[in-house]
A = this chain, B = another copy of it.
Amino acid sequence: MREAYTDQLDSILDDLVIMTHQVKRAVSRATVALLSGDAAVAEEVISGDADIDSAREKIEEKSFELLALQQPVAGDLRQLVAGLRMVAELERMGDLSVHIAKVARLRTPNIAVPESMEPMFRQMASVAQQMVSKVAVVIAERDVDEAAELERADEEMDKLRRKSFAKILDEDWEYGVEPAIDIALLGRYYERIADHAVSLGRRVVFLVTGEHPVSED
């Protein structure tokens, strides 16, 4: 019983890893759409979100079956519930990629991000993508140390977001209100992706150690 349970829990974690890769691709393609203004890529991200949603449904079904068949208690149960929360967060990261792609689509064939802000957004996106990659590793290898790295990467993201705010609020800002709003919202979407990555890392720490590393805000 115990062993069957562990095998099936592992299989759910494997599914989460695959789903994390789907999310990583969504973040990456959304960024391409954003920085190239390519409407087809934006559409690909927007319509592709259905695959991430159905991955969520599949993993949820599997978790419910496992809950019903194995009736795990206490610690095991908490782990399965943690898995259910992880899948919800991954889906949300997919939604945030869709939000980014929709900003891109709204401005196409123009590019929402002014040229002078492009390096900053490239960096923001790169931090986000690296974080999502790291989440996949953390889940696959139950790597608690790598999970701690996510917290550091998140600080980098916060710094970038503050810098982007400084730019759009600078008196030298020459692009007007619309791009400033795009940038404020895009910054929020990338920041939320990073927040979810941190939260996923914390959930894995909880899965491995049974303890929450730090309180979530």
* Bound CA–CA A169/B188 (angstroms): 19
Please tell me which one of the listed residues B74, B85, B181, B217 contacts residue A168 in the complex, with CB atoms under 8 A apart: B181
Report if A145 contacts B (CB, 8 A).
no
Copies in the complex: 2
User: Which stretch in A11-19, A23-31, A76-84, A133-141 binds the other chain?
Assistant: A76-84
| Chain B residue at smallest Cβ distance from A68 | B73
* Bound CA–CA A178/B184 (angstroms): 10
**A6 → chain B closest CB, angstroms:** 18
Once the chains bind, are B188 and A177 in contact (CB under 8 Å)? no
- For window 100-117 of A, CB contacts with B under 8 Å fall at none
Once the chains bind, are A64 and B78 in contact (CB under 8 Å)? yes
Residue interface bits A79-102, CB-to-B below 8 A is 1, else 0: 001001100100000010000000
Report if A185 contacts B (CB, 8 A).
yes
**A17 → chain B closest CB, angstroms:** 22
**A99 → chain B closest CB, angstroms:** 10
* Bound CA–CA A133/B78 (angstroms): 31
* Bound CA–CA A73/B70 (angstroms): 10
Once the chains bind, are A68 and B64 in contact (CB under 8 Å)? no
Residue interface bits A175-198, CB-to-B below 8 A is 1, else 0: 011101100110010000000000
**A208 → chain B closest CB, angstroms:** 18
Please tell me which one of the listed residues B53, B78, B177, B185 contacts residue A173 in the complex, with CB atoms under 8 A apart: B177
Enumerate 20 A-B pairs (CB-CB under 8 Å) in ascending A order: A53-B215, A64-B77, A67-B73, A67-B77, A68-B73, A68-B74, A71-B71, A71-B73, A81-B81, A88-B88, A95-B217, A165-B181, A168-B177, A169-B177, A169-B178, A176-B177, A180-B180, A180-B181, A181-B184, A184-B184
Chain A residues engaging chain B, CB cutoff 8 angstroms: 53, 64, 67-68, 71, 73-74, 77-78, 81, 84-85, 88, 95, 165, 168-169, 173, 176-178, 180-181, 184-185, 188, 215, 217
Task: Given contact pairs A168-B177, A180-B180, enumerate 9 new A-B contacts (beta carbons under 8 Å).
Answer: A64-B74, A67-B73, A68-B74, A71-B73, A88-B88, A173-B177, A180-B181, A181-B181, A184-B184
